[in-house]
Structures are given as C-alpha cells and as structure tokens.
Amino acid sequence: MTKDPRIDAKIAEAAPFAQPILTHLRALVHATFPDVEETIKWGMPHFMLGGKNIAGMAAFKAHCAFMIHGDGRQGDAMGQYGKIAALTDLPSDAELAEKLREARTRIDTAGTALKKKPAATRQAKAELSVPPEFQSALDANPAARATLNGFAPSHRREYVEWVAEAKRPETRDKRIAQAVEWLAQGKKRNWKYENC
C-alpha cells in the first residue's frame, strides 16, 4: 500500500473532528482496493485506479465530504453522503465498499468512473453573450480579449458567467477588473486550482 505524504499532511491539518473521518475513509478505500493510487486533485485527497479517478474526500470547517465519482450528489453538499460531521454520519463500510466497486466496474467497462449521458441527450451549451461592460474592458485590453477569444467555449463561459452573476455593480466592476488582469496574463478563470 503506497500512501501519498501530502494526504497525511491534509489529514493532520484538518480539524480534530475530521481527522478520524478522513483516516477511516482512506483506510476503507485501501481495504477495498489494495492497488489504489493516492494523489491530490483540486486541492483534495483523491484515489485513483489505473490513472482514473474513483473517489475523493475533503474536510471543511464543520464537516467532511466523500465523493465516489459517477455516483451522483446529495443536496447542497459536495459528494453523495451529505455533510459528514462524525463517523456515524457515514453509511456502513459494506455499503461504501460496494459503491466503490461499482465505480471500478464503470472504469473497467466505460474507461471512466463517471456515468456519461448518451450522445443523443447531451446538448452543447449556447455561447453566452458578454456583458457590455465586460466587452468594453476587453476592447480596451487587446491581450485580454485575444486570450478570452482563444479559450475553449467552456473556459470563456466561466469568465462570462462569473461577471454576469454579480448582483451589485461594485462586485461586477471588481470582477471585470480581475478578469481582464488574469486574461492579460493568459490565465483561465480557475487557474489557482490547476496544479493542486
């Protein structure tokens, strides 16, 4: 069993209530799959099989989360098991191990733990229109405009949605200034999380 020391560090720096939960989940994944690989993705401990994501876990101020890739989501919490504040909030080890094995089956048959929608039901998202204030700021900074135009539609959408969802004009203006600065540097909207 190979353990990633970065996950040891994440568990050690988690709140005291979270440490036994994270330790238990980690041990359960290793008991279910002795060949599991550990890594950090999106700033959170993740477990992989054959280079494919199978599960991840995270600790927050008052709860933990456990995600089995491709197994849906519960309410407003990250992952399928809601806000986990104690070991008693988790389903049985047998149930969790079965869900993990189902994810592995998806990987073995489909090449990914995620359930993909059939091609006929997937629809491309329409391109969002750039808010006029954001477009003016982009026009004033050709480097930022060129970067945004060169991005894939999903990366353009992240910036446009971020600016458009601001409710107050001050917030929108602040986001526009930040977006133009990052775009001029060639950065994607969530660049901070790319190398976690």
pLDDT digits (tens, 9 = 90+) for 85-126: 999 999 999 999 999 998 888 888 876 555 555 555 556 666
Q: DSSP assignment of 74-122, as one string? A: -TTSSSSS--B-SGGGS--HHHHHHHHHHHHHHHHHHSSSSPPPPTTT-
Residues of the chain with pLDDT under 70: 1, 72-78, 111-127, 194-196
For the chain, give every residue range classified as CATH 3.90.1150.200: 5-110
Place of tokens 């945004």: 148
CATH fold, domain 5-110, is Aspartate Aminotransferase, domain 1 (3.90.1150)
| String of DSSP letters for 156-184 | HHHHHHHHHT--SHHHHHHHHHHHHHHHH
| pLDDT score recorded for residue 196 | 45
The pLDDT of residue 117: 52
Instruction: Write the secondary structure of 19-44 as one string of H (helix), E (strand) and C (coil).
Output: HHHHHHHHHHHHHHCCCCEEEEECCE
Q: What single-letter amino acid sits at 128? A: L
pTM confidence score: 0.57
